[in-house]
A and B are shown apart, each in its own frame.
Chain A
C-alpha cells in the first residue's frame, strides 16, 4: 500500500509538521533540540535544511524519517497522523515511503552491493528473482551496474554512497532523506551525488537534504535554516546570498563554500 496514492489524503502535503518540539532528557538536564518547528513540504519539492552544528537538523530528520517521535506537536506524513501508528506500521512506512542516505553511508561490512540493496526488499517480503532484479535496476540507476559484486572496501567513497542511494531508492519511496550526504566525500564525488539527487527529484521524488555546504544547499529549490532548534528562515534558494547563508549555517560552512568555489 502506498500512502500517497490512497484515499482523500492524496492531495495532502508529503510532510506537515505543526509546532514540533523535541526534548532530550540528559539526567537532570533537559536539552531542547527542537523548539516548536512548523514546516510543510509539498510533493516533489527539493528542500535543504541548514544550520550550525547542534541546531537540531539531525533531530528534525529523525522525526521526519519516523526514527524518532516528537515530544509534542503533530506530524502528518502524506496526510496521516503518525502519532496514531504503532511500531510495526512505522517500520512499514519507513520501508516503503522513506529512503535514507547517511553521511557515513552505513553499508554492511563485507557485503556485496547487490546484497546491500536487497535489504529493504527483504524487509518488504520481496525475495528471490524479483528482489535480485529490482536491486540490480536500482544499482543501474545510480550507474553501478558493473559493481554489483563489489564489497564496500572495494569501492570508493562516492561509489559507496551511490550504493547507499540505490538502497534508499529500491523501494521507490516518496521521500528521500539525506543527512550530510556529501560530508564524507570530496567535492568532485559530492557533485556526482548531487547530480543524482537532482535527477531523482526531477523524476518526482521529494528530496530533503541536511547540509553545512552552500554548494549542496544551492541545489535545492528551498532552504530552511535552523538555529537552536527553531526555524529562522525558510525561502527559495535563489533569494539567499552567500552572506546570509554563512550567518545561517555558521562560519565553517562559509569558508567551505569559498574554498569549493561554487
Chain B
C-alpha cells in the first residue's frame, strides 16, 4: 500500500489549487450526476408505471369488446358473459366480476359543460378497480338494480363542474338526462387517458339503455369491458386461458376464427412495463455514461495543462530527490482523488435532486436512485480517473528536470 502516502501529496496539491481542482472535478460531477439522474428518472418512471398498473386494481384480468380486427366491429361481449364468469363453482379462483359499459357524453351543470367518459358500472366496480371515495357513496346494488339516475364524479370532473362547491345532491345533465350526484372520488393522480379522475360512474343499465342505446347480442345487453379479479397474481395466467376458452364457447367461435374480444392480464402488463423501462434505463444510462467519459477527457485536458503549468514544481521535486514513480504516482493519485471526490459530490447532488424533487408536488416524474447505479457511476468515474490521469502523469514523469527547472 505504498501509494497511500501519495494521498497526502494529492490532497495538499488539490488544496493548494482549489479553483483548478474544482473545475477539473466539474466534468466528473456532472458526468456522475448525469448517469445517476438519467437512470434515476428511468427507474422512477418504471416505478410509477408499475404503481399505476397496480393501483388500477389488484390481480386484474380485463376483457374488452372487439377482437384484434380492431374497433368498430360490433360488440359481442355481453352481461350474460359476465354472469357466466361470476359462477363461483365453475371459477373458484375468480373473486369478483365487474362488467361496464362506457362511452363519451357531454355533461352539463349550470353554465359549465365538458365532454367526459361515462362509465356504466356495477356496485362492485369500486372495489375491483380500487377506487377511493372522497365524498358521499359509490353506486350501491339497489341503485344498479333499478337503473337509478344517480352519478358518481371523478375528482377532475367534480372540480371542473363544481369548483369548490359541494356537488352531492346536485343534478347534472348527461346527454339530456338528469342524474343526481351521490358521490365524488378521490383524485387517483393518474393524468392520462382512462384515469378515473375524468370519468363519471352511473348504473350500468342506465348507461346501456338511457344514455347510449347499447345493442344486444345473443339475447343479452352488450358491455364494453369486463374486469375480472383473481385470487392472486399467480392464478392470472391460468384464469386467462379458462376465460378465453369459455368465452369462445359462448360466442360459438370455431377453431379457425379469431377471438372477438381482447383479454389482458395484469401480470403480463407489468412484465411488459418492466421490459420497456429496462430498455429505457439502459438507454438513458448509456447517455449518462458518455457524459462521464467526456468528463474524464476533461480531466485529462486539465491535468495536461496542470502538468505544463507545474513544470517548475516537477523540476523542484526532482532536485529534492523524487523518483520516476514518485512523480507518476503523485499525478495519478491526484487524478484519482479528483475523480473520486467529484464522483462523491455527484452522488450527493443526485440524491439531493431526488429528495428535492419530492418537495415539488407538481413534478410529473420521480427520480429513484438505485444503489447499483451509484456503484456503477463511482467505479466508472474512478476508472476514468485512472485511465485519463495516466497519460498526464506519464508526461510529468518524462519531463527532463533541467527543462523543468528552467521553466518559469
Contacts and interface: CB of A to CB of B under 8 A. Distances in A.
Chains A and B belong together in one complex? yes
Contacts of B17: 109-110
Interface stretch (B87-95, B115-123, B284-292, B318-326): B318-326
A119 B320 CA distance: 7
Contact of B321 (A96, A102, A106, A115): A96
Interface residues of B, number: 23
Contacts of B321: 91-92, 94-96, 120, 123-124, 171
B5 interface: yes
A115 B12 contact: yes
Interface in A122-154: 122-124, 127
A122 B316 CA distance: 14
A68 B315 CA distance: 12
Interface in A93-120: 94-96, 100, 102, 104, 106, 108-111, 115, 119-120
Contacts of B322: 91, 123
Contact of A104 (B9, B317, B401, B408): B408
B15 interface: yes
Interface of B: 5, 9, 12, 15-17, 312-313, 315-324, 326, 401-402, 405, 408
Given A67-B315, A119-B317, A167-B320, 15 more contacts: A67-B318, A87-B324, A88-B324, A91-B321, A96-B321, A104-B408, A106-B312, A106-B316, A106-B405, A109-B17, A110-B17, A122-B5, A123-B320, A123-B321, A171-B321
A65 B401 CA distance: 11
A53 interface: no
Contact of B15 (A67, A102, A110, A171): A110
Contact of A122 (B9, B313, B324, B408): B9
Nearest to B406: A58
A110 B16 contact: yes
A127 B7 CA distance: 13
B16 A111 contact: yes
28 contacts: A62-B405, A65-B319, A67-B318, A67-B401, A67-B405, A68-B401, A88-B323, A91-B323, A92-B321, A94-B318, A94-B319, A94-B320, A95-B320, A96-B321, A102-B405, A108-B16, A110-B15, A110-B16, A111-B12, A115-B12, A119-B317, A119-B320, A122-B5, A123-B317, A123-B320, A123-B321, A123-B323, A167-B320
Interface of A: 62, 65, 67-68, 87-88, 91-92, 94-96, 100, 102, 104, 106, 108-111, 115, 119-120, 122-124, 127, 167, 171
B402 A62 contact: yes
A91 B315 CA distance: 12
Interface of B is mostly: helix
Nearest to A167: B320
Contacts of B402: 62, 67-68
A167 B317 CA distance: 11
A62 B319 CA distance: 10
Contacts of B318: 67, 91, 94
B396 to A, nearest CB: 15
Contacts of A87: 323-324
Contacts of A167: 320
A102 B402 CA distance: 13
A158 B308 CA distance: 28
Contacts of A120: 320-321
Contacts of A96: 321
Contacts of B5: 122, 127
A111 B14 CA distance: 11
A104 B320 CA distance: 15
Given A67-B402, A67-B405, A110-B15, A123 B319 contact: no
Contacts of A119: 317, 320
Contacts of A122: 5, 9
A221 B154 CA distance: 104
A94 B402 CA distance: 13
Contact of B16 (A102, A109, A124): A109
A210 B355 CA distance: 64
Contacts of B319: 65, 67, 94, 100, 106
A123 B16 contact: no
Contacts of A94: 318-321
Contacts of B323: 87-88, 91, 123
A137 B315 CA distance: 25
Nearest to A109: B16
Contacts of B313: 108
B149 to A, nearest CB: 83
B297 to A, nearest CB: 26
Contacts of A127: 5
A88 B322 CA distance: 9
